[in-house]
Amino acid sequence: MALIHPRLTDFHGIQKPQAALDFAIPFFDEDIPLYVDPFLLWKSPSQMDKALHGAILNAFNNLGYLAQSGKEDEAVRQLIIASECDEVGLGMSATRKGHRIGEKKAHQILTLFADVPAYEKRGFHHFEEIQLYIDGISSDRVCDLACSFMKSFLIDYTMDQCDQLGIPKGDCTLPHLYDPGTNAFEEDVKAALPLNPETGEPLLLVPKRWLRFNTWINYDNYFKDHCPVDDIVNPGAKIDRVKVLNFNRQNYGVVEAYIAEKERTVADCENDPLFQAIPVTSARRKLKQLKAIPSGNDDRNDKKYEDVICQLMASLMYPHMDFADDQSRTDSGTHIRDLIFYNNRDHEFLRELFDDYDSKQIVMEIKNVKKIEREHINQLNRYMTDELGKFSVLITRNPLPRARLTDVVSLWAGQRRCIIILTDADIELMVELFESRQRLPLDVIKKKYVEFRRACPS
């Protein structure tokens, strides 16, 4: 079993959790489901961020200048190149590969500089506004354009972060790199960047402070709270997105008012964390739900139990164990739900697990049964591999029967594989520690491990 959602830091043995790093840790196999929001650069107190926003805006507005100066073909070419930035790995792609816009879409965007007098006269103040005029343009495309136009900065930032953390860099060739000095893309630019070991392609790191699930200026928000629907269609009629976009072209004042409102409420625009622990009150509520769920699979109780455990454990383990994934599998006809965590090794106990069991990732299996049987132990044993490591956690309702405790002790004695059991009582203790903030919920797993080792032969 290979690593689940392998990350750059895990691959290179960097013992830092996501919470301790300035950038979003990139995956090798898929995108991070967040986007760079240029509005966050615009509002930032950092002069560097503000300068980058100005550079992005100048690059985009220069496309309008080219189009209006008889160089529309060059503007289209640059816009198409800038419309995808695979190196940053942001968005919703399951392969880290996106698609550039076509010539038709590029022409549609460039016509805004002629069709909307305000843009023809002074250009855009927030180029995210193109989402309010062009169908098929949303946060992912805005993010790619922003990253493409400031790729030179991202290269320098990535190299600096790699040098600080000791992440190896490899020689690579970037097919296009925007030069703000010439307002053009250079081709086949050499660079030294971290590489994706699965594809050999370069990776760029992006500061977390710029990332949101959706850009502050976006079509859905505009349509929900600001669009004058009654001016576009008759009351009760079906609202067509294209009609709204065309209306905006002819009524820039409505868009201008929306942008002014977004600027006025700028204090509400914050970056979205890659992970946010549930509040203490929610943790208590989840624990109460957990206790009320009967064991077994009647009335989908197994699924209910798994869902509550998933939500609780992702928060209880953070930030020392970043949540990687929850997944279902079938073993010998039995449905099993697993939680997968990255072992960041920033805690002494987690370093011990890595050193003793080679646990790059930690698997937690969930079983909503009254009594654990031998087959349950065998199932989890089969899941412990050299790739994932030989330490795992079995989350279930009650302590192990004596015969099953003998099984897990024998497994350790014979193969040095370790299975720790967490019961409802252990989960309750973890929630209490989470609430008090005086000790780490992780300490409960450490306690269970110490107790387990005492039961094992020396």
Instruction: Decide if pLDDT at 367 tops 70.
Output: yes
Q: Of residues 38 and 227, which shows the higher confidence score?
A: 38
What's 130's DSSP letter?
G
Alpha helices in 317-423 (DSSP H): 348-357, 374-383, 402-415
Give residue 13's pLDDT. Answer: 87
Distances (CA, A) of 111 to 163, 203, 232, 307, 357: 44, 33, 22, 49, 61
**pTM, full prediction:** 0.85
Distances (CA, A) of 347 to 5, 41, 453: 22, 34, 19
Instruction: Decide if pLDDT at 26 tops 80.
Output: yes
Instruction: Decide if pLDDT at 332 tops 60.
Output: no
Residues 37, 107: Cα–Cα separation, whole Å: 23
Nearest CA among 314, 255, 286 for reference residue 128? 255
157-169 in b/e form (b: 16+ CB < 10 A) is: bbbebbeebebeb
Render pLDDT for 76-118 as a digit per residue (tens, 0 to 9). Answer: 999 999 999 999 999 988 888 889 999 999 999 999 999 999 9
What CATH number labels 280-455? 3.40.91.50
For 245, the enclosing helix (H) or strand (E) is: helix 241-250
For 340, the enclosing helix (H) or strand (E) is: strand 334-342
Residues facing 395 on adjacent strands = 366, 422
**Domain ranges, ordered by start, for the chain:** 8-268, 280-455
